[in-house]
A and B are shown apart, each in its own frame.
Chain A
Amino acid sequence: MSPTGGRRSATRGVFAIEETELLLPNPVALDTSFVVEALIATQPAHAVCRPFFLRIVESGVSITTSDLLPVELAEAVFGIALKERWGSRWRGHRTDGRARRRAARLLDDAVSRYEMLFTSADHFSVPLADATSAARSLMTSYGLASYDAIHAASAIAADAEAIVTLDTGFALLPPSLLTVYTDRSRVASCRSKRQR
């Protein structure tokens, strides 16, 4: 039975988080791309991801993430400070110290919000050491990028059936390993990537 009760073959294990009838497995895994959109109000998918996070919390299911997630969030925040100061040339100014004060303030805010967010549900944060071996296997078997492989392996380690993500790279995995929950604009792209 698919999460919406329809035929799994037609959906290829990819579902839109905007679908109100979507069933939530327990636990459900979250990827960094989803959490970034849920946390930051100025992101384009915030209006979709925030209510879906609330729906997860209200449903009472547990959440699982990788320990990589807060590290990626910190990296994103550092990138925000650099991009705000240097615009499109931000990549070349990583070692320039002038954005660091802003980065530190943003990071404090982001970390406190992240911690607050995860007080709202039972949470399993999977250490890298518990996922690296399976991540290597997912990379070589399905061509996943390294960070995606860590998140996917962490989800599987926590026995999650689905991962919520805005990264279409997770669709390289077969549906038997992970169902992909994404926003409506990425459903077609994910389904086209799924192996038949």
Chain B
Amino acid sequence: MRSVAKTQTNGRPAPLSPERLEQLRRPATAKTLEEKRAAVRLATEGFRVKVRVTPDMYGRR
């Protein structure tokens, strides 16, 4: 069972086990700071649309 239903004493649900978190980890493929900056730049520059995206467009209130 992969739930996080168990609750810690402070009321915060318990996190996943370190082993499970390691399974979920995807290491950065950009290694140097310059490569990382370039990835962010390529991802975030120039994606322009003609309308404003509002939260209701992805199911939020």
**B-contacting residues of A (Cβ < 8 Å)?**
32-33, 36, 38-44, 46, 50, 53-54, 57-58, 62, 72-73, 75-76, 79-80, 83-84, 106, 109-110, 113-114, 116-127, 129-134, 137-138, 145, 147-148, 153, 156-159, 167, 169, 174, 176-177
Contact = CB atoms under 8 A, between A and B. Distances in A.
Interface of B: 2-5, 7, 10-13, 15-16, 20-21, 24-30, 33, 35-37, 39-40, 42-53, 55, 57-61
Given A32-B58, A157-B16, A167-B60, A113 B11 contact: no
Contacts of A126: 16, 24
A41 B46 contact: yes
A138 B11 CA distance: 10
Given A80-B49, A159-B21, A116 B12 contact: no
Contacts of A148: 60
Given A83-B57, A117-B43, A167-B55, 7 more contacts: A33-B55, A36-B53, A114-B43, A117-B39, A119-B39, A120-B39, A134-B13
Given A119-B29, A122-B27, A133 B44 contact: no
